[in-house]
Amino acid sequence: MKAICFYFQIHQPFRLKRYRFFDIGNDHYYYDDFSNDDIVTRIAQHSYIPAAESLLRMLEQYPNFRCALSITGVALEQCEQYVPEFIDLLKKLAATGRVEFLAETYAHSLSSLIDPEEFINQVKVHNDKIEELFGVKPKVLRNTELVYCDEMAPMILNMGYKGVITEGAKHILGWKSPNYVYSAASAPKLKILLRNAKLSDDIAKRFSNTEWDAYPLTADKYMDWIASTPAEEQIINLFMNLETFGEFQTRDTGIFQFLEALPYFAKERGVEFWTPSDAISKLKPVGELSIMHPISWTDESRDTSAWLGNKLQNEAFEKLYSVSERVRLCDDRRLKQDWYYLQAADHLFYMATKHFADGAAHSNFSPYETPFQAFTNYMNVLADFIVRVEEQYPLSIENEELNALLTTIRNQEREIETLNKEVTSMRKNIEHFNEEHLLREKKANQEESASDEPVAEKASKKPACKPKAACKTKATATKKESKPKATAKKK
């Protein structure tokens, strides 16, 4: 049996406003609310909402249809604020029980490449958000931009995930096919699902391209391609952004009709739909897959150069995470919120100077005229953010020294809390003892007052006559005493 594993990604960063050097230290709000509202609302109306409605119709019409969604925490926040009706649709999808929500970093960050503790923390925060909104707990991990390497596998497995999703990169697979389940070389119990780049991009990038030799792409033709793959290749992983439907491929191309027709033609050809968890539980790995260096699903190179490919990007990346330990230690809610928003990989992507093989993708996404403008704006914001962090935890104190001081403070706080509990307990014991003492004293006073009653009262309480038995005994004794006297008189 052959199956399709559909997964759709949803992410929108909090875009920064123009932040000048002279704003540092004076303005602590960094975001372009107008742009964020406008972009998220527009994309939701064109893509997210109609795509979600299409998925709901497919779920209702085809009982065997299943798919997966992955939505970042920062995107959820914007949808809650600007398009809450989309959140309602996501809840309806979750309620069907046939839509799986995947785990990922809350901030759509690259923390997995530099700060494992931050990565683990963000995934946990994201899971909590998904469970809070949709009542489901993610079981499979999808890292930011499908970034993955061998070094991450043991960490992901220890976090409790049995599977991870990444790119079926040609330079990693070689002659192998992405249409199998593999196990991680560094953690064999962790299963890997690989994106089929060719079949995914046929929809995401080539669907409306009139110069493409397969144009126009219809649902029955596409399903023929999938059904014709070798019989032993059981899983076809189709991973793409949800914006594919209505934004990248506009409604007038027929993309929504194409999507909704897929289950019909899949059923005709005996092709099923599985979620990532289904694939991981039903299929055994055909072998181990070793990925020495981080890969992603972006650009032809399928590496991390889109975000960390030049000096500007690396300087910003290292500067940002130089304060990560201090931010985690603080309790300032606003500071932590900014910390998440500034970690979005998009900010680094805007600084890219490389030429992207898939066309003008960079210029389409970036709100800046040049990568240097993106770098300058971001570093100004970051400078102000670091000043705020330093106000709480000065950078002059080394991390180890700071940790030692904070550990001492926390130990003292715990000790004080313990002592306070002991004091409270002792006070309760004293109060209880005083209450018992007062009760005993009151009882003793009552008994003493009862023993000191007047004699007249006691006498009045005695019976008026003795019992009959006592009177009879006395009379008999009197008769005995009088007899001897009478005898003596006769003599």
Contact (Cβ atoms closer than 8 angstroms) between residue 126 and residue 72: yes
DSSP character string of 29-69: --B-HHHHHHHHHHHIIIIIHHHHHHHHHHHHH-TT--EEE
Instruction: Give the long-range contacts of residues 79-87, CB within 8 A, separation 24 or more.
Output: 79/40, 79/44, 79/48, 82/36, 82/37, 82/40, 82/41, 82/44, 83/40, 83/41, 83/44, 83/45, 83/48, 83/49, 85/49, 86/44, 86/48, 86/49, 86/52, 87/133
Contact (Cβ atoms closer than 8 angstroms) between residue 104 and residue 144: yes
Select which of 77, 100, 118, 145 is catalytic: 145
The verdict on whether 145 is a catalytic residue reads yes
**Sequence-separated (6 or more) residues with CB below 8 Å from residue 411:** none
Residues forming beta bridges with residue 4, ordered by sequence position: 236, 273
Contact (Cβ atoms closer than 8 angstroms) between residue 247 and residue 208: no
Query: How many of the other CB atoms lie within 10 Å of CB of 435?
Result: 10
DSSP 8-state code for residue 355? P
Q: Which position has the token pair 């559909």? A: 6
- Torsion angle (degrees, nearest 10) of CA 388, 393, 397, 400: -130
Write out the catalytic residue numbers: 145
